[in-house]
């Protein structure tokens, strides 16, 4: 008897604001089953979640308005794999320097992040960086009003740097980059995240999340 093929990983992209379509496109290209996540109840349908690049203050405000903060914190604590790019890295951090007043954080990653560390929009740049766990040569990284990581906890693995600045990290099922891999067409980081999601399926507990429909 031939065993049925495993279903593709269902990976949600938080669709409140930011580079949603770009992440969906990259996830589909690596064989995942992407889903735009707009309601808290959608969390029950996904194996992993992407927090896209965008405006961290805007996304944070919407997380609070639509009662996302506690369900997301609970899902992360329960082991849901999450990948945050740029604004997503900021939201995942336990502490943010130069944050907007009242900036809500998910506090899943044991890192201290400096917001807009590389400068404003006019200071945006691209760089080739080597990433731990990503084969095939350097990754072209796009930095747009990007943060960097100033301090990491003992459980955090540094994956990449620009000069001496930390710009990519991983802590267990959480992955974060200060740059925007969704904008380059290079899908290797998304493949890495989908591998994390696939390896985690069936291991996290069952957390029922409820919020506004």
The catalytic residues are 86, 180, 182
Cα 65–chain centre separation: 21
| Token pair for 35 | 């889903």
> What letter does residue 16 receive in the DSSP assignment?
S
Q: Which residue has the tokens 């906890």?
A: 153
Give CA–CA dist 120/118, Å, rounded. Answer: 7
Nearest to 79 by CA among 211, 208, 200: 200
Q: Which residues face 48 on adjacent strands?
A: 11
Nearest to 79 by CA among 56, 115, 47, 111: 47
For residue 73, what are the CA distances in angstroms to 60, 80, 91, 148, 203? 13, 10, 11, 22, 18
For residue 117, what are the CA distances in angstroms to 68, 86, 192? 27, 11, 26
Give CA–CA dist 33/8, Å, rounded. Answer: 6
């Amino acid at each position: 008897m031939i065993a049925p093929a495993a279903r593709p990983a269902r990976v949600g992209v938080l669709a409140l604001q930011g580079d949603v379509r770009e992440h969906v496109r990259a996830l589909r290209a690596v064989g995942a089953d992407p889903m735009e996540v707009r309601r808290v109840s959608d969390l029950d349908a996904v194996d992993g979640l992407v927090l896209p690049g965008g405006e961290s203050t805007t996304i944070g405000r919407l997380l609070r308005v639509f009662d996302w903060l506690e369900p997301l914190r609970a899902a992360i604590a329960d082991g849901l794999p999450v990948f945050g790019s740029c604004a997503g890295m900021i939201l995942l951090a336990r502490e943010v320097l130069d944050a907007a007043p009242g900036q809500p954080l998910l506090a899943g990653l044991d890192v201290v992040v400096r917001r807009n560390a590389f400068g404003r929009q006019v200071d945006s740049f691209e760089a080739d960086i080597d990433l731990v766990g990503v084969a095939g040569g350097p990754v072209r990284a796009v930095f747009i009003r990007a943060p960097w990581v100033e301090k990491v906890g003992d459980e955090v693995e540094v994956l990449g740097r620009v000069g001496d600045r930390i710009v990519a990290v991983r802590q267990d099922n959480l992955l974060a980059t200060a740059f925007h891999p969704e904008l380059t067409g290079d899908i290797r980081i998304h493949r890495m995240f989908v591998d994390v999601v696939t390896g985690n399926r069936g291991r996290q507990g069952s957390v029922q999340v409820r919020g506004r429909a």
